[in-house]
C-alpha cells in the first residue's frame, strides 16, 4: 500500500509540474513558420470524392497579418528558415500557396484567436486557399486547422458552393482579444461592413480540418489528397541561439 501511495504521489507531482509548465507557456512568444501547398490533380489521383456540402465558416475571434496591438503587429514578421522545404516541394510538382514566418504570443485555447490564411490564385476577391489556423498552449502546443481549397470552375448559384466572406474590421471597430493587453485593430483595407459583399461560388472545395499536438522545434506535416501544410513552432530562445551560433 505504501508503494502504491508513493507512485500516486509521484504521478500527482508530475501532473502538477506539467500544469505549471503550461501556465508558464501561456503568454510566451514563439516563432511560427508555415507552408501550405497544393497537389495538382491530387483528388483525382487518390480517387477521393470532393465533399458535396462542406461547411465553410470563419471564426468570430481572429487576427490577420495586418492586425495591430497599439503600434505593434500581433503577428510580427520573422525570417523564414524552411526555404529548402519550399524548393523540395516545387521540385516534386507541388504548388506552394502560402509561406510565412512570424512571432506570436501564444495563449491557452480559450484566449487564442484564429489566424486568417489565404494564398494562391485569386478569383473575384477570393483565393484558392482560404480559412484559418489556431495555435494555442496547454500541456503541449496545439494546432487547429480550418482551411479550404477552392476550385472555382464554372460554378453558379444553386449548383456551386457558397464561399464565406473574409471577416474584416474597421479602425473605429476594434477587436477585443484577451491576452493582448487591450483592444486591437486591423489595418486591412476592404469594403465597409455596411456594403454588400460580392457573392462567390466554388464548383468544388476540399477541406483540411485537423487537430494536432505539437512540440517546439519539430517540423509537423498535415496531409490531405488535395493539399497539405508544413508547420514548425520554435521558441524565440531557440531561434536566437541558432543565429548566434552561425
Q: Could you identify the residue written with the cell 485593430? A: 185
The Cα-based distances of 194 to 186, 197, 198 in angstroms read 17, 9, 12
CA-closest candidate to residue 111, choices 175, 28, 177: 177
Cell triple for 157: 448559384
CA-closest candidate to residue 82, choices 13, 34, 48: 34
The pLDDT of residue 232 is: 98
This prediction has a pTM of: 0.79
Rounded to an integer, the average pLDDT of 145-169 is: 85
How wide is the angle at C-alpha 153 spanned by C-alphas 117 and 164, nearest 5°?
A: 40
**Residue 26: pLDDT band by 50, 70, 90 thresholds?**
low
pLDDT, tens digit, for every residue of 27-83? Answer: 789 999 999 999 988 888 887 888 888 999 999 999 999 999 888 999 999 999 999
Query: Taking 50 as the threshold, does the pLDDT of residue 161 lie above it?
Result: yes
Which one is predicted more confidently, 234 or 19? Answer: 234
The pLDDT of residue 218 is: 96
The Cα-based distances of 195 to 78, 191, 198 in angstroms read 35, 6, 9
pLDDT, tens digit, for every residue of 177-227? Answer: 544 444 454 443 333 344 456 789 999 999 999 999 999 999 999 999 999
Amino acid at each position: 500500500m505504501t508503494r502504491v501511495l508513493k507512485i500516486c504521489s509521484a504521478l500527482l507531482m508530475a501532473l502538477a509540474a506539467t500544469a505549471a509548465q503550461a501556465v508558464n507557456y501561456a503568454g510566451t512568444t514563439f516563432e511560427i513558420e508555415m507552408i501550405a501547398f497544393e497537389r495538382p490533380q491530387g483528388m483525382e489521383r487518390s480517387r477521393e470524392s470532393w465533399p458535396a456540402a462542406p461547411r465553410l465558416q470563419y471564426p468570430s475571434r481572429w487576427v490577420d497579418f495586418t492586425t495591430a496591438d497599439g503600434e505593434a503587429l500581433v503577428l510580427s514578421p520573422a525570417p523564414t528558415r524552411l526555404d529548402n522545404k519550399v524548393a523540395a516541394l516545387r521540385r516534386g510538382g507541388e504548388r506552394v500557396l502560402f509561406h510565412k514566418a512570424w512571432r506570436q504570443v501564444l495563449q491557452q485555447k480559450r484566449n487564442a484567436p484564429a489566424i486568417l490564411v489565404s494564398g494562391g490564385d485569386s478569383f473575384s476577391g477570393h483565393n484558392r486557399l482560404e480559412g484559418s489556423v489556431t495555435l494555442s498552449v496547454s500541456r503541449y502546443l496545439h494546432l487547429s486547422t480550418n482551411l479550404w481549397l477552392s476550385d472555382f470552375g464554372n460554378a453558379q448559384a444553386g449548383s456551386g458552393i457558397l464561399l464565406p466572406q473574409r471577416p474584416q474590421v474597421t479602425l473605429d471597430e476594434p477587436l477585443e482579444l484577451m491576452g493582448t493587453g487591450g483592444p486591437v485593430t486591423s489595418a486591412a483595407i476592404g469594403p465597409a461592413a455596411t456594403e454588400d459583399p460580392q457573392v462567390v461560388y466554388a464548383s468544388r472545395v476540399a477541406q483540411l480540418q485537423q487537430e494536432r499536438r505539437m512540440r517546439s522545434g519539430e517540423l509537423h506535416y498535415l496531409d490531405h489528397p488535395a493539399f497539405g501544410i508544413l508547420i514548425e513552432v520554435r521558441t524565440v530562445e531557440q531561434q536566437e541561439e541558432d543565429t548566434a551560433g552561425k
